[in-house]
A and B are shown apart, each in its own frame.
Chain A
Amino acid sequence: MSHTLSRGLLALAVLIVYLLHQDLWLWRTARPLVFGFVPVGLFYHVAYSVLAALLMWLLVSRAWPKHLEQDAERHGQDRDRSA
């Protein structure tokens, strides 16, 4: 998969997760109570937090800006030497 396509798909994934925050379909209902005590609207957003963590894992593993780190380390060492 090309670099641009991969970045595009990740951006689309971020947009979809952002939009999923607006769960209008669970707005007016408390039932079912998940595990017998968590209203479904609250459970959805708990699951959403886990989904956000999975998305972050995907971003970190597929789109980590390695070049920034390499540049910074190199220039940082230069800066330390000059100091």
Chain B
Amino acid sequence: MIPALIVFGYLAIVVYIGVFAFRRAHGREEVEDYFLANRSLGPFVFLMSLFGTNMTAFAILGSSGHAFHNGIVTYGLMASASALVIPLTLFLIGTRVWALGKRLGFITPVQLFRDRWETSHVGTVIFAVQAALLVPYIIIGMMGGGTTLHAISGGAVPFWLGGAVVALVVMSYVFFGGMRGTAWVNTFQTVLFLVFGAIAVVVIGAGMGGFRASAGALLASPDSFLLTRERVPPAYFFSYTFIPLSSIAFPHITIFCLTARRMAQFKKTVVFYPLCILAIWFPCVFLGVMANRATDVPEIREKVEARETLAAEGARLSPGEREALKARAEADDVLLLLLERYAPLWLAGILGAGIMAAVMATDSQILALSTMFTEDVFAHYEGKARFGEAAQVHTGRAFVIIITVVAYLVALRAPETIFALGVQYAFTGFAALAPLLVAALFWRGSTKWGALASTLWAAAAVAGVAVFQAAVPAPPPGPPTVVWAVGSLDVLARTPGGTSVLGFLPVVPIVLGSALLMAVVSLLTPKPSPATLARYFPGR
């Protein structure tokens, strides 16, 4: 119960930070102050908060769980690819978005698209697709909050209460503090995790009898494949370099780029971002792999046994039996189990709070959705003109409450797997929307029709993958189910973990298709007026 009390203490601090940020705003009801912290964040808060915003429950719990079953490949798939692509997109796209926001007063990416391509309705379509891809993320965050608080308290806090507490806390500091409160909370969370994460690695390593002994024993065991990438096809590995393109296209990240006081604040963020990834992901992945040796923990032993049974007998089992084994092998809680077994209670509590914070990264998405609704719908369709700026901020705050309550109610009733899949598709969908930003910022010839084609393709392709995976059941571990082949070339296949197109993840053809449509349709349709182009490409 001590870890749970520490977590509740942490939640109280978080609410206080939100209220403090509200006081800092001196009661101003200005749109840029609430939604963008008045474009005033300093370099440290900008780096830590941007990193914290990207560091969701997937980074902390998901990476350890993935590494537990798949080994060291997890770092190459999700961390080192992001270490290059995310700062590169911040450098190339984030800085330009910031400059345009400062110059032309944008608050959301849709405002930029509407102005750049002289369109209203295409902007509304982009808004709808962005919102549809963002909602599952918020719901899964609520579920993660309930599950984590339930686990940390040893079952004393039921799921519904844990979810309600997390929803209330997030709603409070987003409601009061807006972007300033959210940024400060994310900074606090990131620092907490960086400091205590390092301590946890040392403590767990010592508890397991030293990592040298654990690594040596794993290397000599049948699970030695976890220390190599022999079971991962290179095309699959390559596909993951496309996923981090989603980061800059997520509205909460694009909007966050507008909060920096000066463009120079991107410099430290861009340079230190890969090192922050290293500092968080390396311990999570390494501990996830080494957890395979912690078979003195009954829950971990059960997961290892379930994986081995699935691998050895999966083909002979019914789909229902396979799903039951997959559920038993589910490993997103290995980090929590290691903490519980090897860390002292106070450290487990603080790390639990850090993990809780990562789960609560849903705050930025709630604020982004609220910002998008108030700017792209309410203000765009004359709400601001009719009711004024203060009413717009009130609408944003009301929307924060509505989103949180609805997400909590859905989280209570819906099965988690549906939304977990939704999040999986969200990364692909936002990666496919990245060509919109590239075209808007770098290509004079891009048009609203190109943007529309690209957006509709992204939405349709992601929906197509979802339908395909629902219609064709996942095969047992082993060779994929080939649905379409040309000669000896497998064009479309259902794999145990998803879908494969010519051996690649769907994100590769979907992103390339999006870029191609943007190019071809733009070439065939009329460009925006010279006046607009002159504003975006002065001196050319």
Contact = CB atoms under 8 A, between A and B. Distances in A.
Contacts of A49: 79-80, 83, 274-275, 277-278
Contact of B267 (A37, A39, A64): A64
Given A39-B227, A42-B286, A50-B274, A18 B84 contact: yes
Contacts of B271: 53, 56-57, 60
A24 B234 contact: yes
Contacts, number: 140
Interface in A5-52: 14, 17-18, 21-24, 26-31, 33, 36-39, 41-42, 45-46, 48-50, 52
B80 to A, nearest CB: 4
Interface residues of B, number: 53
A4 B224 CA distance: 49
A69 B458 CA distance: 32
Given A37-B215, A42-B72, A50-B275, A68 B83 contact: no
B111 to A, nearest CB: 14
Contact of A30 (B98, B214, B224, B273): B224
Contacts of A41: 72-73, 76, 227-229
B80 A45 contact: yes
Contacts of A59: 88, 91, 270
A18 B271 CA distance: 16
A27 B212 CA distance: 21
Q: Is the interface of B mostly helix, strand, loop or mixed?
A: helix
A56 B215 contact: no
B241 interface: yes
Nearest to A76: B102
Contact of B99 (A37, A38, A53, A71): A71
Given A36-B212, A45-B76, A71 B538 contact: yes
B468 interface: no
Contacts of A71: 99, 103, 538
Contacts of B176: none
A56 to B, nearest CB: 5
Contacts of A68: 95-96, 99, 263
Most B CB contacts (10 A, CB to CB) among A17, A26, A50, A56 go to A56
B20 interface: no
Nearest to B535: A75
Contacts of A31: 219
A81 interface: no
Contact of A29 (B96, B228, B237, B264): B228
B517 interface: no
Interface string B2-33: 00000000000000000000000000000000
B160 interface: no
Interface of B: 72-73, 75-76, 79-81, 83-84, 87-88, 91, 95-96, 98-100, 102-105, 210-212, 214-216, 219, 224, 227-230, 234, 237-238, 241, 262-264, 267, 270-275, 277-278, 282, 285-286, 538
Interface of A: 14, 17-18, 21-24, 26-31, 33, 36-39, 41-42, 45-46, 48-50, 52-53, 55-57, 59-60, 64-65, 68-69, 71-73, 75-76, 79
Given A39-B227, A72-B103, 11 more contacts: A22-B237, A27-B229, A42-B282, A42-B285, A46-B75, A46-B282, A53-B83, A57-B271, A65-B99, A69-B99, A73-B262
